[in-house]
Structure 1
Amino acid sequence: MRRKIIAACMLAACMLAACIGMISCDDTTNTIGDSLIDNGDKLSITADTFSVASETMVAGRVIARSSTGYLGRMVDPETMTTVTGNLMSQFHVLSNYELPAKDSIMSRDANNEIIADSCDIRLYYSTYYGDSLSQMKMTAYELSKPVKEGESYYSDFDPEAQGYIRPAAQGGIAEKRSFTLTDYTEADSIRNRRNYNRNIIVRLNKQYKDKKGVTYNNYGTYLLRKYQQDPSAFRNPYRFLHEICPGFYFKVDGGSGSMAHIQLAQLNIYFKNKQNGKVSEISTNFVSTEEVLQLTNFSNDNTKLQQLANESGHTYLKTPAGLFTKLTLPMSDIMAGHTSDSINTAKVVLHRINNSSTSDYQFGIPHNVVMVPADSLQSFFANNRLPDNKTSFMATYNSKTNAYEFNNISGIVNLFSRNRTMPAWGKVVVVPVELQSVTQGTGSSKKTVITKVSNDMGLSSTKLLGNTSTGKNIQISIIYGKFNGR
């Protein structure tokens, strides 16, 4: 239903004051009060409400820039869709990296050559989805070459399909293991320590053959002897990746029910060392950092996602790389009779539908979402843009109203009104995002500034009201302003 109110000059001024009060915090508010002091002008304000059409779109591949890695497989209890996360990680070295002197390393083989007693990779995770006792299977593959730096990678980037895996027939590591996130293979005395960090461990203690055909008793021994041959290769990240250790790919082979948020991958070498006449077991390690790549390859049940997108009566927001909600703003109706008016505010509220399932392992509700013109969807993330409150806007889930509120998207409406030839004219897309921010200032001037917006790669899913034949579940409320000379 459309509502229209035409106000006289005095009443309009009162309404405008109220409007300014409502939207004064919005950076996108147009300059609508510049000439109020001019008594020669009369101001009229018009408020109108229109229905907005919505639909679900399959996200497809999205640019993945999350700082968190994911490893596991889960079924969404609400939609019964399956998502799998496989992790690729590289390791970084420092310019001052140094091993103990060769003579002090006491772990030796029958030929008195130095060896590693053992070697492992630990994938440290902060939190997880699902059941920590779910039985999972994975394979850790050695890469044959490092994944290239300085490129944009998408959520479906698969090192195996792209030829990055070193074949097992040529000596490449392909270490299989079963695991649960609560690792009962480690002693209670270790897991119960206050400083214990939960991890998934992959042991690399089998015989290893390098690319030159040289055989070692394990991967750690390979690294120790390579250091002895050329320590400088262990102090230069580029050389380490290209000459020593290109990285590993951790692929889920079986099981379902858990997915870990991998914060750090660490490659450890253990050996005996003699210092001050005392022999002790020590270790050295290499870790994944922001200086090297850590990528998650996600695979979804695309057939099921398309079925969800075809449903009516609601739309979906689903991550990772799952489903977005597309809105069609009724631009022709909005502009009809208002070609000379300014659009001061345009408000849209997206109401959430509560889950119907009662599983203990429900996916979370997307917390932050951005709205961008459909034509700008790819470029927004490809160019690392931030919501500018002009042509891109952010909303945060409000648990009290169970909705996402975009209080003023007039910038997008005005963009469409000026560019009627846009291929996706009037269409915007709502996308779940992950934020990175920094805190600036102190005391009363302290504020949080968003520094990065990327596609949300966590597990989340929700329904929104809309996608009906009447279109009345979503409305856009417009406030127009117009100055008329005497």
Structure 2
Amino acid sequence: MKLKFLAALGFIAATLYSCDDETTGIGQFISNEEFIQAKADSYTVETESHLLDSVYSRSTTAYLGKFTDENYGTFTSDFLVQINCPENFSLPDRLQSIDEATLGLYYTSYFGDSLAPMRVQVDTLTMPIQDNGLDKNLYYTNMDPTRYYNTQNPPLATKDYTAYDQTVSDSLHQTSDYYKHISIDLGNAFCDNFKSKYDVTAVENGETVHPYFKDSESFINNVLKGFYIHVTNGEGCILYISDIYLHLTVSYMSRNSADTADSLVTAIVPMTATNEVFMSTRFQNSGLQNLVDDPTCTYLKTPAGLCTKVTLPIEEMYEEHRTDTLNSISLSFTKMRDPSTSPYKMGTPANLLMVRADEMKSFFENNEVYDEHTSFLSSYNSTDNSYSFSKLNRLIAAIFSEIRPEIEKGTAQWEAWKAEHPDWNKILLVPVTTETDSQGNIIGIGNDLSVNSAMLVGGKDLNESADESEKIQMDIIYTQPSQD
């Protein structure tokens, strides 16, 4: 399991502590010598693919479509969304009618075949979604839409589309003024119902108001609970939807500048989905279990598909280094060549989060940022096709501190503790996206929801049968307390 070698590395200030600006001591020592013998160790880590049925996501992007990949199976995405109603929203005075209501799905990009014929269906929700921030399950990507709409009701609207709208001229597609979108007519019945709810009035503080439109909560509970938007026919493309608008075309009476005559005026009133109201995308994958069972490598697949689980040889390391100072620990994972022959190849995950397996859930739910103590971030290096992690001595030190009291209780208690904490020595490599401030500092990390994938060197075959020198090695530099 372990390949060990020793090396005298020279003057410690120039050689040792340059590895980590915050050297973590397991055993502490003081030495008056100018030269301290540094030693190096290397331990094998074991890896396997890990299925993520669902991930936590509070994304401002919605995803829509269906795509089948020769290696990663079929992937579908659909979403629930509410429309925001600004406080004291109002339509024009002397409103005559709502002539048209269209739902606009505006997308910045897409994955797959831009000419794949698809059909989208819009259903109205029959149950309001109360999002007060306490129910984290609302934002997991395996949410069940049927909890919020009646599958027996006829659809509100359907629309056939392609990602590249062939009804728009090629020259317009090339202009900066054109914003790719699907426009869905919601029908006359929707317009009539909307106006009937707007016509309800009440008197508050001597003024006539529209109580169902005074804020988002009133609007969602009484007028429009939201939409479920999903593809019912076709496959080959996934849209990345950045903006969702409800456009109302209204007619109202307006007087001329001399106030002598009435005229019928038409206007478009937009309403939109915003961060103040609920939106959540569901992702479904089929065919990933075969990749989990593949022993020849490990996989990353987004969104909500596969990550890589790493088992660290903590017991062996603790036995040999519990009194040492771990100055530097590093680990690297190599990306393999993609064998896919598909014309629509997935992208490579740009960033990997390394996080303890039993802390992944809380990390994303609490909107944490990696701390380089129990969570780490690595960006893909295309030069050597790898993701590299350093300063892992801080992680190992934290785990040593956690298990020391349990080990000292005796073998029986230690074995019982491990049985109760099966992931105590497991870490996950999870594809993520990052959010930065104006200075480039990372202020947010979320699960990667784009269509990406990668194959990493590792897996059960490498764990069990490969030569030690071919396995994934975690490199350590450490020093030992003086024996004088």
Q: Shared topology, TM-score over 0.5?
A: yes
Q: 1:380 aligns with which of 335, 345, 363?
A: 363
Aligned equivalents of 1:65 and 1:375: distance in 2?
21
SS at match of 2:122: strand
Shift of 1:361: 0.9
Q: 1:19 aligns with which of 10, 16, 19?
A: 16
Partner of 1:4: 5
Bigger CA drift: 412-421 or 117-126?
412-421
Bigger CA drift: 188-197 or 386-395?
188-197
Q: Report matched runs for 1:86-485 at 5 Å.
A: 86-102=78-94, 105=95, 114-149=96-131, 150=133, 151-152=135-136, 153-160=139-146, 162=147, 164-166=148-150, 169=153, 173-185=155-167, 194-205=176-187, 217-230=188-201, 231-275=210-254, 277=256, 279-301=264-286, 304-420=287-403, 421=417, 423=421, 424-439=423-438, 447-467=439-459, 468=462, 469=464, 470=466, 472-484=470-482
Shift of 1:276: 5.1
Q: Is the alpha carbon distance of 1:178 and 1:407 closer, same or farther for their aligned partners in structure 2, counting shifts above 3 Å?
A: same
**Residues 146 and 242 of structure 1 are in contact (CA less than 8 Å); yes or no, is this contact kept in structure 2?**
yes
**Residues 345 and 478 of structure 1 are in contact (CA less than 8 Å); yes or no, is this contact kept in structure 2?**
yes
**Residues 220 and 226 of structure 2 are in contact (CA less than 8 Å); yes or no, is this contact kept in structure 1?**
yes
Aligned equivalents of 2:80 and 2:167: distance in 1?
24
Shift of 1:201: 1.7
Partner of 2:411: none
Map Cα deviations across residues 310-349 of structure 1 (whole Å, 9 max, x no partner): 1112100111111110111122332343221021211000
Shift of 1:61: 1.9
Q: What 5-or-longer segments of structure 1 have no aligned partner?
A: 106-113, 206-216, 440-446
Map Cα deviations across residues 85-104 of structure 1 (whole Å, 9 max, x no partner): 001111112124221111xx
Shift of 1:127: 0.8
Shift of 1:274: 4.7
Aligned equivalents of 1:135 and 1:425: distance in 2?
48
Q: Is the alpha carbon distance of 1:194 and 1:396 closer, same or farther for their aligned partners in structure 2, counting shifts above 3 Å?
A: closer
Shift of 1:57: 1.1
SS at match of 1:148: coil
Aligned equivalents of 1:307 and 1:96: distance in 2?
54
How many residue pairs end up in the alignment?
443
Aligned equivalents of 1:287 and 1:186: distance in 2?
24
**Residues 52 and 330 of structure 1 are in contact (CA less than 8 Å); yes or no, is this contact kept in structure 2?**
yes
SS at match of 2:398: helix
Partner of 2:260: none
Q: Is the alpha carbon distance of 1:351 and 1:192 closer, same or farther for their aligned partners in structure 2, counting shifts above 3 Å?
A: closer
**Residues 70 and 262 of structure 1 are in contact (CA less than 8 Å); yes or no, is this contact kept in structure 2?**
yes
Q: Is the alpha carbon distance of 1:428 and 1:157 closer, same or farther for their aligned partners in structure 2, counting shifts above 3 Å?
A: same
Partner of 2:409: none
SS at match of 2:18: helix
Map Cα deviations across residues 408-432 of structure 1 (whole Å, 9 max, x no partner): 2112212222233452232211111
Q: Report matched runs for 1:27-42 at 5 Å.
A: 29-30=23-24, 39=32
Q: Is the alpha carbon distance of 1:245 and 1:188 closer, same or farther for their aligned partners in structure 2, counting shifts above 3 Å?
A: farther
**Residues 246 and 272 of structure 2 are in contact (CA less than 8 Å); yes or no, is this contact kept in structure 1?**
yes
Aligned equivalents of 1:434 and 1:247: distance in 2?
28
Shift of 1:392: 0.8
Q: Which amino acid aligns with 1:271?
A: V
Q: 2:39 aligns with which of 39, 46, 69?
A: 46
Partner of 1:208: none
Q: Which amino acid aligns with 1:47?
A: A
Q: Is the alpha carbon distance of 1:483 and 1:383 closer, same or farther for their aligned partners in structure 2, counting shifts above 3 Å?
A: same
Aligned equivalents of 1:370 and 1:192: distance in 2?
37
**Residues 386 and 451 of structure 1 are in contact (CA less than 8 Å); yes or no, is this contact kept in structure 2?**
yes
**Residues 24 and 397 of structure 2 are in contact (CA less than 8 Å); yes or no, is this contact kept in structure 1?**
no
SS at match of 2:363: helix
Aligned equivalents of 1:355 and 1:178: distance in 2?
33
Aligned equivalents of 1:75 and 1:46: distance in 2?
50
SS at match of 1:229: coil
Aligned equivalents of 1:39 and 1:32: distance in 2?
19
Aligned equivalents of 1:315 and 1:191: distance in 2?
40
Map Cα deviations across residues 431-470 of structure 1 (whole Å, 9 max, x no partner): 111222222xxxxxxx322222222122111100012123
Q: Which amino acid aligns with 2:227?
A: F
TM-score, scaled to structure 1: 0.84
Q: Is the alpha carbon distance of 1:275 and 1:191 closer, same or farther for their aligned partners in structure 2, counting shifts above 3 Å?
A: farther
Map Cα deviations across residues 324-378 of structure 1 (whole Å, 9 max, x no partner): 1011112233234322102121100000001112333111111111111222222
Bigger CA drift: 190-199 or 318-327?
190-199
Q: Is the alpha carbon distance of 1:186 and 1:223 closer, same or farther for their aligned partners in structure 2, counting shifts above 3 Å?
A: farther
Q: Which amino acid aligns with 2:425?
A: G
Partner of 1:108: none
Bigger CA drift: 255-264 or 184-193?
184-193
Q: What 5-or-longer segments of structure 2 have no aligned partner?
A: 202-209, 257-262, 404-416
Aligned equivalents of 2:337 and 2:269: distance in 1?
50
Shift of 1:485: 6.3
SS at match of 1:372: strand
